[in-house]
Structure 1
Amino acid sequence: MTAQMDFTFIHGALSISVHTKEISGFHDFLKNRKLNSNPQDDFLKDFWQQAFLCLLPNSSLDNHSETMCIGEEKLEALPVSVFELNMTSHSYSIYNAVYAVAHALHNLSSSVFKHRTDRGKQNLRKLQPWQLHHFLKNVSFNNTAGEKVSFNDNGDLATGFDIINGVTFNNESFLRVKVGRVDPQIFPNIGFTIHDNAIVWPSRFNQECPSSLCNDNCDPGYSKRRVEGGPFCCYDCIPCPEGKISNERDMAGCFQCPENHYPNKNRDFCIPKSLTFLTFKEALGTSLAISALFLFCVTAVANNRNLTYTLLISLLLSFLCALLFIGKPQKMTCLFRQTAFGIIFSVAISSVLAKTITVILAFQTTKPVSCLKKSFWKRTTTSIILFCLLIQVTICTAWLSTFPQFPDFDVISMAKEVILDCNEGSVSMFYCVLAFLGFLSICSFTSAFFARKLSDSFNKAKFITFSMLVFCAVWISFVPAYLSSKCKHMVAVEIFSILASSGGLLGFIFFPKCYIIVMRPDMNIKKQLIKRKH
């Protein structure tokens, strides 16, 4: 039905009417309205005669009535079909129109007063109607019903519509029941709301509510896709793709969950991701921590002097260094765990390199070694360790000063978990640390490999070769394993590499010594140690 068609009613019909709202005092105003309320109102006289089927003295109206109007008739006695006491859309529109013009005139008057000249204030009565248009279109106020009245860019009243259900009764009375609202400003996504339970349908309807769709609604977790070539109301329901949801019926498309959430199984709401990191309580973290402490204790019982002490201490620290990678990442642990690993391993590998060079120099000497030459060897090995340590410390210092590590959340890698890990700051600096360790390992392995056949009943170079072979194999396989891992398994791979490489150095260098000392003490004599091939 047309929006302003207030005079036609069909039982059970739905109509669209300009939005109205009850104005306080309006009903009482109409009840107290009398014929003599405004003697100059000719419209009121004509309405009174037609509504009450009476005549006024000297009236020219021909309504085929001989009853004279007494002026005391009451509007509330009229049937609803003749006159409604409630605020209709016509009345509400006129009410807002009068106040809109009043506000526009007030703004015009204020503007004229503000810009008055010496000639005096211009008489508002002489203004032309078109001069009011500028102020009228910029009007914005709240009426006594508490609703905002304003006009949009097209000059239309910024209001919505009411969905009216007409209900008629046997005594020819009727009711207008508001069952919904059409207002894009209030309901920008759905357009309108309707309370189908409040609708009274004609008795001939065999269903509660007529359907304007040629298919069922799409449930949450699905989105609509229009059927090509079909009517506009026909569509298919498509499941939301991986990682997206729809939480309302008949949604035009699915949307992505926030980064720290993931879709549920039905893809109709988002679930917060749980926080995960490698802890001491889980089996993987516990086993790695126990391995690190065990190897630390094994290293602690080994003994030797000078250069060997340096290697043993660095191995002790390397096993403890693995514990920095387990547990909830903190600012300090993130800041020092990679740099501590790089510096400690640089000392360990440089000690192995120095030990290898010492073996080579010792086997090249056929005469008893003088104290001066021993002092030179000691200074050489110390210089190697300090020089290698200085280079690695420089790299780590540059790393910490330019791209310091910090705790970070990874919400992308895992679907249902937020990964709490240390952000390395710069991947390039991390691989620079590994590259320097690789360079030292290759130097140690190469020198030990060429010295492996030196004749001795207990050739250190041979065992150093095996230890560096294990060390290089571990860290060469570390890179692809690290890059292909996710979450806490990346940390576990690095911890395992630290323990395996440190354990390889400890095992191949010191276990043969322990075997000779404990199991074969007969070989631990000076004669056996300096035996040569002719």
Structure 2
Amino acid sequence: MSWIGYSDVIEYFQPGDLIIGGIVSLISITGDMNNFRQPYDSWNDETVVLTNNYQHVLALAFAVKEINENHQILPNVTLGFHIYDSFAKGTCHAIMVLLSQQTRFIPNYKCGIQNNLVAVIGGLYPDTSFYLAMVLGTYKVSQLTYGSALHLNDENEPHPFYNMVPNEGYQQMGLLLLLLHFRWTWVGVIAKDSINGDKFVKMIAAQFTLRAICVAFLRRVKTLKRSDIWHLINGMFELYNIAMKSNANALIFYDENIFILRWLLYLPELQEGTVEPKGKVWIMTIEMELTSLLYQRSWDIQVLHGALSFSVHSNEVLGFQHFLQTKNLLLTKEDGFVHYFWEQAFECGFDNKPGKICTGTEKLEDLPGNVFEMSMTGHSYNIYNAVYAVAHALEAIQSYQSKHKAMVDGRRVNIQDLQPWQLHHFLEGLSFNNSVGAEISFDRNRELRAGFDIINWVIFPNQSFHRVKVGKLDPQAPPDQVFTIHNEAITWHKSFNQSLPRSVCTDSCHPGYSKRKQEGEPFCCYDCISCPEGKFSSQKDTDDCYKCPEDQYPSKDQDSCLFKHKTFLSYEEPLGISLAVLAVFFSMFTALVLGTFLKHHDTPIVKANNRNLTYTLLVSLLLCFLSALLFIGQPEKMTCPLRQTAFSIIFSIAVSCVLAKTLTVVLAFMATIPGSRMRKWVGSRMATSIVLSCSLIQTGICAVWLVTSSPFPDADMNSVKEEIVLECNEGSVTMFYCVLGYMGLLAIASFTVAFLARKLPDSFNEAKFITFSMLVFCSVWLSFVPAYLSSKGKYMVAVEIFSIVASSGGLLACIFLPKCYIVVFQPKLNMREQIMRKR
């Protein structure tokens, strides 16, 4: 049904003192929605009407009606309008008609002061706006674009148009903030193959990577044309399969209209074997409207349920729906669009056409939303504001004329004989509030200063839909309020079960794991590896694991840090109690041996090998056992220097006594040899000298240690994972090992002398017992070094205490137990006669 001929005039004209021109995109042809240069007579295809775009015509008419009825704006001046369709005869033809005498097509000719064109509002698509700008720029007529923003290659070049849409950079910023808000880092992109599409793709390449967002796939689509529609559709099948198979749940669709997306989502109905549709979050660019062509009305739109889009910030304009409901459009003879709209919107015909007959009683509110919306759409809102912008600029001119007799560019301004180029001066500095309270003004680039609303599309089973505002982008707001969105207000596609959709290449790495990039894949694709020992990660998708503060340690799952508890070898724990009991037991046993020896101090066994040395050795062993108690309990400023120095000096005395007793045995034997000069060395004076000299050397070493780098209380944060070990820092490790080394030297000397003297004849040769005792002593302390170095925390202290007790116990047992046995249980053997008999 081809309804439009070349001679047909598709226009809507309302006379007035000043005329606002309009270029809309209502009439189209099947398969090509964006041809703006060729007149219709070059096509023989079936025509269709973009029924939802008819609201653009009505929005312009409604705005002019409001202004003419409002005597506060432009009193004594009547606005009119002249609206043409951009396709029926081509954009350039339509604009030249607007610039001609109203009744005939004569460009560059004008007479009279009525129907004076002052500005043009249009168009919907960038191509339309571009062709308008080329012609209107020549005539310096103000152009207010209401659709996709128009940008010239040279933005510094003066241009005649004003964008009723904010800078597209703001929309791109909003898109990035939206993706970052939901943490959608793996997105698919479908962009129209156009100049604006090229700019959008360049923005993605420049900005997405900086914000850690990866593109799962990027495809460009061309406008569907009848000549190669099946070739293009075959390419779209491939695109559809890629989109549905991709694990990217957020898909960005960049185009000025929705028709290509509608085709893309309809493909499963055309070919078997196509991937089943999956729930996706479609993110659409500014001012996208859910429009259905006549042949698309039966197509399911549930796949768009939960989609998100951007729209110029707006509020419902009061009175517009009432205007639509009460105006009898069919009686408006000046409206050349209404019959074409009516026939396709209600699927009826006039003038005895076959099929259903239009009665004229049909109501707009009965139409589904994808055919015609009663609420003012984003594009219509832009047209509404554009009309008011022109009116307020004209009012400013009128005000200057009446009050100041203003001169503009060297000429006196006369509102009745206004030249279109004179309007620029007043539009540039324009600022006013529209009927819903929104401020309307242009920036230095002649782009609207405004923000965007974030719209959630809710599709109902009966194919009706509702747009819900769920957030906004306000570039003029404080930084923390530029982007706001209400997650709870969003309705997602039913496949997501109303939970927040995820769109990532790899599922999030849970706390306790970090990301490792997959070779050959974008940085958004990674593997999750557990944190190494001693590190943690408390958030999802961390790039690395971190060390806890010194006073904390990673939890078992390595997803948090727990405070370390302080610990030391105390009397309140089994280990500390056991060692303390052991030390006290041996000290009491030593005291018992000492008491026994004191009781039997006149017996030969006790008097043998220097009784005073025996008493000194027992007292030093008693103190050795008791010194072990200094190592138990919380380290203090007094106990730390005392524990090591006391232990080392007392042990040196004990080992010196053993050395002196051994040398006494050797010298005593040598003194029995006739003519020996060793007799003068035998006696208590030599033994005392050995004990004092050896002990004083160790005392000197300890004094140097205390003066240069004394032990002090410290906290070991690192040795034990879950504990802060309170310990005594040795101060100088060198001095500590010097002390141990000197004791070891004394022990080796005692062992060597005792070993050499073990077979000397005597009634009671003590050397062999000293040999065994020093063997035990050296074995204990040789084992101490590796055991001490391999232990951590309080167990290092426990090893040292055990070594003290064990080595002291070895001396006590090997040297004194045989003597105690004779003294207590075999007193007959402890008699001079018995000893002499054995000798």
Question: TM-score with structure 1 length normalisation?
Answer: 0.67
Query: 2:547 aligned with 1:253, yes or no?
Result: no
Query: 2:440 aligned with 1:440, yes or no?
Result: no
Pick closer, same or farther for the CA change 1:435–1:168 going to 2, 3 Å. Answer: closer
Pick closer, same or farther for the CA change 1:285–1:17 going to 2, 3 Å. Answer: farther
Contact 2:552 2:562 (C-alpha < 8 Å) held by counterparts: yes
Corresponding position of 1:382:
688
Partners of 1:162 and 1:378 in 2: CA distance: 106
Where structure 2 has 5 or more consecutive residues not aligned to the other structure, the ranges are 1-166, 175-284, 290-306, 314-387, 403-413, 421-430, 459-463, 599-610
In the TM superposition, residue 364 of structure 1 has moved relative to its aligned partner by: 3.6
Pick closer, same or farther for the CA change 1:346–1:2 going to 2, 3 Å. Answer: same
Corresponding position of 1:452:
758
Give identity over the alignment, percent: 49
Corresponding position of 2:110:
none
Contact 1:292 1:319 (C-alpha < 8 Å) held by counterparts: yes
Contact 2:668 2:682 (C-alpha < 8 Å) held by counterparts: no
Aligned residue among 622, 641, 646 for 1:335: 641
Pick closer, same or farther for the CA change 1:90–1:414 going to 2, 3 Å. Answer: farther
Contact 1:164 1:178 (C-alpha < 8 Å) held by counterparts: yes
Pick closer, same or farther for the CA change 1:286–1:46 going to 2, 3 Å. Answer: same
Query: 2:824 aligned with 1:518, yes or no?
Result: yes
Aligned residue among 163, 177, 197 for 2:487: 197
Corresponding position of 2:169:
3
CA displacement 1:80-107 (0-9 Å, x = unmatched): 4xx7149x8959x99x9xxxxxxxxxxx
Pick closer, same or farther for the CA change 1:215–1:505 going to 2, 3 Å. Answer: closer
Partners of 2:702 and 2:476 in 1: CA distance: 66
SS in 1 for 2:533: coil
Aligned residue among 516, 519, 529 for 2:835: 529
SS in 2 for 1:331: coil
Corresponding position of 2:472:
178
Contact 1:223 1:237 (C-alpha < 8 Å) held by counterparts: yes
In the TM superposition, residue 505 of structure 1 has moved relative to its aligned partner by: 1.1
Pick closer, same or farther for the CA change 1:90–1:9 going to 2, 3 Å. Answer: farther
Report the residue type matching 1:245 in the other structure: F
Contact 1:212 1:233 (C-alpha < 8 Å) held by counterparts: no
SS in 2 for 1:510: helix
Partners of 2:517 and 2:473 in 1: CA distance: 29
In the TM superposition, residue 177 of structure 1 has moved relative to its aligned partner by: 3.7
Contact 2:640 2:711 (C-alpha < 8 Å) held by counterparts: yes
In the TM superposition, residue 504 of structure 1 has moved relative to its aligned partner by: 1.2
Partners of 2:690 and 2:716 in 1: CA distance: 41
Query: 2:438 aligned with 1:84, yes or no?
Result: yes
In the TM superposition, residue 437 of structure 1 has moved relative to its aligned partner by: 1.0
In the TM superposition, residue 511 of structure 1 has moved relative to its aligned partner by: 1.5
Pick closer, same or farther for the CA change 1:473–1:218 going to 2, 3 Å. Answer: closer
Corresponding position of 1:310:
616
Pick closer, same or farther for the CA change 1:322–1:388 going to 2, 3 Å. Answer: same
Report the residue type matching 1:268 in the other structure: D
1:280-291 paired onto structure 2 within 5 Å: 280-291=571-582
CA displacement 1:436-487 (0-9 Å, x = unmatched): 1111112212222222223233221221122111111111111121122222
Contact 1:165 1:176 (C-alpha < 8 Å) held by counterparts: yes
In the TM superposition, residue 269 of structure 1 has moved relative to its aligned partner by: 1.1
1:388-403 paired onto structure 2 within 5 Å: 388-403=694-709
Partners of 1:512 and 1:383 in 2: CA distance: 27
Partners of 1:291 and 1:204 in 2: CA distance: 74
Partners of 1:320 and 1:489 in 2: CA distance: 19
Pick closer, same or farther for the CA change 1:4–1:387 going to 2, 3 Å. Answer: closer
Query: 2:244 aligned with 1:244, yes or no?
Result: no
In the TM superposition, residue 340 of structure 1 has moved relative to its aligned partner by: 1.0
Corresponding position of 1:293:
584
Report the residue type matching 1:346 in the other structure: S
Contact 1:445 1:465 (C-alpha < 8 Å) held by counterparts: yes
Pick closer, same or farther for the CA change 1:90–1:222 going to 2, 3 Å. Answer: farther
SS in 2 for 1:344: helix
Corresponding position of 2:517:
226
Aligned residue among 341, 349, 356 for 2:662: 356
Query: 2:560 aligned with 1:276, yes or no?
Result: no
Aligned residue among 489, 494, 498 for 2:804: 498
Contact 1:10 1:168 (C-alpha < 8 Å) held by counterparts: no
Report the residue type matching 2:763 in the other structure: S
Bigger mean CA deviation after superposition, 519-528 or 358-367: 358-367
In the TM superposition, residue 230 of structure 1 has moved relative to its aligned partner by: 3.1
Aligned length: 419
Report the residue type matching 1:403 in the other structure: S
Partners of 1:280 and 1:231 in 2: CA distance: 60
In the TM superposition, residue 229 of structure 1 has moved relative to its aligned partner by: 2.9
Partners of 1:510 and 1:380 in 2: CA distance: 22
Partners of 1:225 and 1:350 in 2: CA distance: 64
Where structure 1 has 5 or more consecutive residues not aligned to the other structure, the ranges are 19-43, 64-73, 97-160
In the TM superposition, residue 178 of structure 1 has moved relative to its aligned partner by: 2.9
Pick closer, same or farther for the CA change 1:173–1:416 going to 2, 3 Å. Answer: closer
Corresponding position of 2:86:
none
Corresponding position of 1:100:
none
SS in 2 for 1:287: helix
Pick closer, same or farther for the CA change 1:375–1:453 going to 2, 3 Å. Answer: closer
Question: TM-score with structure 2 length normalisation?
Answer: 0.44
Corresponding position of 2:724:
418
